[in-house]
Amino acid sequence: MEGVNTVTNISVQKIWSILEEVCDPEVPVLSVIDLGVVREVKVASVSEEDDVEVVITPTYSGCPAMDVIRMNIHMVLLLHGYKNVQITTVLSPAWTTDWMTEAGKHKLKAYGIAPPNPKQQVCNTHLFAEDEAVQCPHCNSYNTRRISEFGSTACKSLYQCNDCQEPFDYFKCH
């Protein structure tokens, strides 16, 4: 494209920083950066305005929150003066909990949602609840049991701690 200059990394880093302001509507303590749904940010200058493309991958291909996330990304970038914004959704490779930040996992636990288990533990949707040790975010006990495969959203399961008796969501590993 003639007349297009790729902008420096400073502009891309600024947009990544701005995107920290966009929260997941289902888990408002997580930003879209914490969640790992933002895959790439591209910035190019055409004349005096920047063209911005944000590439996102949904946690689930049918995730109802993605429309709100897409709109919120667009709105926050408009508020920061970016007028030419494109949000691109890519489904492959599929999102994985490995893309969540460690800070995001700590925020989940502090919010009362058990974060996905560490990578060294087996994450398999075909396992029974007894096969996966899920730590209670309230008392840190592993003496927990799955009550339902689905919690408050499709990406979470409902658990209960056998020690403190508190119910909690577990952000499913996938």
Task: Give the residue extent of every domain in the chain.
Answer: 4-89, 100-171
Cα separation, 155 vs 60, in Å, equals 8
pTM: 0.81
Residue 104: per-residue pLDDT: 96
Residue 6: per-residue pLDDT: 44
With both helix axes pointing from N to C terminus, report the angle between 65-79 and 9-19 in degrees, rounded to the nearest 10: 130
The CATH class for the domain spanning 4-89 reads alpha beta
Half-sphere CA count of 125, side-chain side, radius 13 A: 11
Q: Which residues of the chain have pLDDT under 50?
A: 1-7, 120-130
